[in-house]
């Protein structure tokens, strides 16, 4: 057992830091914030243990590295990687099964993008923004610009085929790769966990989302994950006009009929194993509509924000504090009715 853990840690330490990110796993979140059940995987998944696996079997970059103009995104650019065009799973990587309205964690590795921010000058302090779009009407050959920046939370944006379900900071405030950087050291001490076979000694990042409560059961529901990680103009001499850098993962969840009732975000257990835990701030705000949530922890990156951004961040933190004092509890019986109760909790 001890040897296995040592090997896992050694393996994790040897992981290259230049790898980019994709959704590695989808997991249901129980009402107490704990990951439960059998995980699911994206379309055409390559597990890290699959023969032939390398980062490039899963990463998908927009605009492609071959484009001369590094800020240009074309209307013809596809949203999904070639191996993720069809709604097909690979052997050993089934879809997640979830009921409508379920809370789900989408997990990805930070690969140094959070803990070693000095490696890429000009990147945003939140390490980019992650978006999840949802649809029951995906298209083979889906175009990136038909979805990203087009679909809205209320479903009226773009061609109206889908919705924006979530928008978060890439840095979830906890995640880290084990490396010798200061941020990693601080987080290893603060967010200690036992190395496991899946993550090794690293702690993966997550984006916690909620499936729409009206997602039809007996069908797959499509999720498009978009990580928008631009380089600002003038920050890196290689890219005087900045650079667009976007990665996506395309996936489905099989929506199954709910048995009984589900409660969401009313009983998060703050003292639990971090290997299996949702991010409290993200989990608590499920169902509150889309906005970038204050992470509740100090931002990882040294701040290069201007005053306006700082003020916005402070306003967001104030909102987050207000939101925790009057936490919303939603108990839903999916077959018949939804009731929303506002509860004042002692602070």
- Site residues, ligand NAG (CB under 6 A): 30, 32, 34, 36, 69, 71-72, 269, 272
Least gap, CB of 95 to ligand NAG (angstroms): 21
264: nearest Cα among 104, 95, 41: 104
Least gap, CB of 329 to ligand NAG (angstroms): 17
* Identity of the residue, 71 or 196, whose beta carbon is nearer to ligand NAG in the bound complex: 71
266: nearest Cα among 312, 332, 215: 332
Least gap, CB of 71 to ligand NAG (angstroms): 5
* Identity of the residue, 69 or 340, whose beta carbon is nearer to ligand NAG in the bound complex: 69
* Identity of the residue, 87 or 276, whose beta carbon is nearer to ligand NAG in the bound complex: 276
* Identity of the residue, 34 or 129, whose beta carbon is nearer to ligand NAG in the bound complex: 34
Distance of CA 72 to the CA centre of its chain: 25
Please state whether beta strands 205-210 and 220-228 pair in parallel, antiparallel, or not at all (unpaired): unpaired
Least gap, CB of 300 to ligand NAG (angstroms): 26
121: nearest Cα among 246, 234, 245, 287: 234
43: nearest Cα among 63, 71, 23: 23
Burial 7-22 (b: 16+ CB within 10 A, else e): ebeeebeebeeebbbb
Instruction: Count CA atoms closer than 13 A to 210's CA, side-chain side.
Output: 22
* Identity of the residue, 98 or 294, whose beta carbon is nearer to ligand NAG in the bound complex: 98
Least gap, CB of 176 to ligand NAG (angstroms): 22
């Amino acid at each position: 057992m001890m040897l296995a853990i040592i090997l896992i840690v050694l393996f994790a330490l040897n992981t290259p830091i230049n790898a980019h990110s994709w959704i590695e796993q989808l997991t249901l979140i129980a009402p107490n914030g704990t990951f439960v059940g059998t995980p699911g995987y994206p379309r055409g998944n390559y597990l890290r243990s699959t023969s032939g696996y390398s980062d490039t079997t899963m990463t998908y970059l927009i605009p492609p590295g071959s484009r001369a103009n590094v800020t240009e995104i074309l209307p013809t650019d596809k949203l999904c990687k070639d191996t993720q065009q069809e709604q097909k799973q690979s052997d050993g990587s089934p879809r997640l099964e979830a009921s409508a309205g379920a809370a789900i964690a989408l997990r990805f590795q930070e690969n140094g993008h959070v803990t070693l921010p000095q490696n890429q000058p000009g990147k945003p302090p939140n390490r980019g923004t992650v978006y999840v779009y949802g649809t029951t009407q995906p298209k083979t050959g889906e175009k990136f610009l038909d979805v990203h920046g087009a679909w809205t939370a209320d479903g009226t944006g773009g061609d109206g085929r889908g919705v924006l379900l979530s928008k978060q900071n890439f840095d979830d405030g906890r995640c880290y790769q084990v490396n010798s950087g200061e941020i990693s050291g601080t987080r290893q001490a603060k967010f200690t966990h036992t190395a496991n076979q899946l993550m090794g000694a690293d702690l993966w990042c997550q984006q916690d989302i909620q499936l729409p409560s009206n997602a039809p059961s007996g069908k797959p529901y499509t999720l498009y994950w978009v990580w928008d990680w631009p380089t600002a103009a003038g920050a890196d001499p290689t890219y005087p006009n900045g650079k667009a850098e976007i990665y996506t993962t395309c996936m489905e969840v099989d929506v199954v009929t709910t048995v009984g009732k589900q409660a969401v975000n009313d009983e998060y257990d703050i003292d639990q194993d971090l290997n299996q835990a949702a991010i409290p701030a993200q989990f608590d705000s499920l169902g509150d509509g889309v906005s970038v949530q204050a992470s509740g922890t100090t931002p990882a990156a040294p701040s290069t924000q201007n005053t306006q951004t700082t003020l916005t961040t402070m306003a967001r933190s104030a909102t987050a504090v207000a939101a925790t004092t009057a936490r919303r509890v939603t108990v839903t019986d999916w077959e018949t009715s939804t009731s929303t109760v506002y509860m004042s909790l002692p602070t």
